[in-house]
């Protein structure tokens, strides 16, 4: 072997081999089941092409680009109800007057307080105009090759990298500055993996399949892109495990009782997987960041850059790419919020609060990354050989 994928994932707490085994044996099978449950397969999204930066260039009409929206009667009923804003439910408020209130730790232990509309300082919020939101069945709209390419796609990636997350120089030692670049690069690798693994090989016969050359060309022959993908996977995994109490208690209610129990059970199996707890209990150590003197300003700057990236997703000129772009950037934004904003001033609250849609995005993003990591791993000796050919 080349040793390129040996040792620890950069800035993370687990090594490549452990991540591969944990992913293939435990996490990937659970995630694959989880994303098919009714709770996780419907995603609320504003799909309009309303880019504030450039005019529409007509890419939206590409055949493989269009998203199939759900018929109204397919959305889970509880998803349609408006959120009840304001106070936490009565049982929380009444605790204080009760004799047992003084020592009752339910208030502290109760992480989940119902789904709420809540701000995320890391993302560009456009959830306000709910009239323009649609529900999409993600299972019917797989992330794959769409034909979206050329200058339109290029300028999105270019502006993401050049304006919002400049590649750090090799001497850069500030880990905070590296994180944003690595997250985006890792996501980019994962998107490219999905394009290459589900590619339109022959247009006339509509034959789809794996495009190994593309996989090699875009990702595998760039070791840093593969490494960043593992990094992003562990980063998002850490966010999920950090939110264990919240995710365990959350209501996965879609009105389909049997399915919802299954969702709840899969979530628990994921969060409390013995293998995860022994092999990679802390996939990424967020506590090491923002400690320096300029920590708060640095965080604000990186937060602003990520918000810009999130806003840029409205400019992705292909509906299906925009769907997955928005979902995965929202998922990353949710991970950033869980890891860096809870217990801090910037969300004005010590406790974690997530929107239902954020949880759906987070888990679907983790699954996409998990699939990509598995694809790289499954190439096995081929990857090593390709790397040696370099
Ligand atoms: P691109 O992938 O466009 O990359 C542009 C440049 O970025 C490369 O030349 C390289 O310098 C750099 N780069 C590439 N990968 C990395 C990396 N991992 N880390 C750091 N730098 C890198 N197309 C689809 O077919 N289906 C989709 O679902 C889809 N979703 C998309 C979602 C978003 C948000 C965007 C912006 C584009 C999406 N596209 C999708 C388009 C796709 O990502 C490519 O842009 C397109 O296939 C053209 O690829 P390319 O070879 O020109 O390189």
| Ligand 1 pocket check for 142: Cβ under 6 Å | no
Note the Cα 323 to chain centre separation in Å: 13
Tens digit of each residue's pLDDT (9 = 90 or more) over 34-66: 999 999 999 988 877 667 676 655 555 555 666
ipTM of the complex in this document: 0.99
pLDDT of residue 70: 63
The angle formed by the CA atoms of residues 356, 361 and 367, to the nearest 5 degrees, is 130
Distance CA 320, CA 376 (A): 24
Residue 117 near residue 127 (C-beta atoms within 8 A): yes
What b/e readout covers 332-369, taking b as 16+ CB neighbours within 10 angstroms?
A: bbbbbbbbbbbeeebbeeeebbbbbbbbbbbbbbbbbb
Residue 38 near residue 259 (C-beta atoms within 8 A): yes
Out of 136, 147, 152, 321, give the residue to mutate to test ligand 1, the one with the largest number of ligand atoms within 8 Å of its CB. Answer: 321
State phi, psi for 42 to the nearest 5 degrees: -105, 125
Instruction: Look up tokens 């949880």; give the residue.
Output: 359
- How many angstroms separate the alpha carbon of residue 115 from the centre of ligand 1? 34
CA distances in angstroms from 152 to 54, 60, 148, listed in the order given: 10, 11, 8
Distance CA 295, CA 340 (A): 11
pLDDT of residue 86: 41
Q: Which two tokens stand for residue 53?
A: 């930066």
Of 71, 4, 56, the closest CA to residue 223 belongs to 4
Of 348, 387, 377, 385, the closest CA to residue 16 belongs to 377
pLDDT of residue 53: 73
Task: Supply the DSSP symbol for 169.
Answer: P
Distance CA 18, CA 118 (A): 36
- How many angstroms separate the alpha carbon of residue 100 from the centre of ligand 1? 57
Distance CA 346, CA 340 (A): 9
How far from each other are the two terminal CA atoms of the chain, in whole angstroms? 13
- How many angstroms separate the alpha carbon of residue 203 from the centre of ligand 1? 21
Helix (H, G, I), strand (E, B) or coil at 200: strand
* Residue 69, beta-bridge partner list: 136
pLDDT of residue 351: 81
| Ligand 1 pocket check for 325: Cβ under 6 Å | yes
Residue ranges of E strands in 62-121 = none
Instruction: Look up tokens 């001033």; give the residue.
Output: 345
Out of 10, 147, 153, 311, give the residue to mutate to test ligand 1, the one with the largest number of ligand atoms within 8 Å of its CB. Answer: 153
Q: Which two tokens stand for residue 40?
A: 């996780």
Of 262, 243, 241, the closest CA to residue 252 belongs to 262
Under-50 pLDDT residues of the chain: 1-2, 84-108, 345-348
């Amino acid at each position: 072997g080349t040793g390129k994928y040996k040792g620890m994932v950069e800035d993370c707490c687990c090594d490549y081999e452990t991540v591969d085994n944990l992913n293939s044996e435990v996490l990937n099978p659970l995630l694959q089941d989880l994303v098919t449950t009714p709770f996780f397969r419907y995603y609320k999204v504003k799909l309009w092409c309303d880019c504030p930066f450039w005019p529409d260039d007509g890419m939206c009409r590409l055949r493989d680009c269009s998203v199939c929206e759900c018929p109204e009667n397919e959305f889970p009923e509880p998803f349609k109800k408006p959120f009840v804003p304001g106070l936490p439910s009565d049982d929380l408020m009444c605790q204080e007057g009760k004799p047992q209130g003084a020592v009752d730790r339910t208030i502290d232990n109760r992480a989940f307080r119902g789904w709420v509309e809540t701000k995320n300082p890391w993302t560009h919020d456009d959830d306000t105009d709910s009239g323009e939101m649609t529900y999409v069945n993600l299972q019917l709209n797989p992330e794959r090759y769409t034909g979206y390419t050329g200058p339109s796609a290029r300028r999105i990636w270019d502006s993401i990298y050049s304006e919002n997350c400049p590649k750090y120089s090799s001497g850069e030692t500030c880990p905070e500055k590296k994180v944003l670049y690595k997250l985006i690069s890792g996501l980019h690798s994962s998107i490219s993996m999905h394009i290459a693994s589900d590619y339109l090989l022959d247009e006339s016969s509509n034959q789809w399949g794996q495009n190994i050359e593309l996989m090699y060309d875009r990702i595998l022959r760039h070791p840093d892109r593969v490494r960043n993908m593992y990094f992003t996977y562990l980063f998002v995994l850490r966010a999920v495990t950090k939110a264990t109490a919240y995710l365990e208690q959350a209501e996965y209610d879609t009105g389909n009782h049997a399915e919802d129990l299954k969702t709840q059970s899969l979530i628990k199996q994921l969060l409390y997987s013995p293998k995860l707890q022994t092999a990679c209990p802390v996939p990424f150590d967020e506590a090491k960041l923002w400690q320096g003197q300029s920590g708060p300003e640095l965080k604000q700057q990186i937060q602003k850059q990520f918000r810009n990236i999130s806003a840029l997703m409205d400019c992705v000129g292909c509906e299906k790419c925009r769907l997955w772009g928005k979902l995965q950037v929202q998922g990353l934004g949710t991970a950033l919020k869980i890891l860096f904003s809870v217990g801090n001033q910037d969300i004005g609250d010590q406790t974690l609060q997530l929107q239902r849609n954020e949880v759906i995005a987070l888990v679907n993003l983790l699954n996409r990354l998990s699939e990509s990591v598995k694809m790289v791993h499954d190439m096995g000796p081929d990857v090593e050989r390709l790397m040696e050919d370099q």
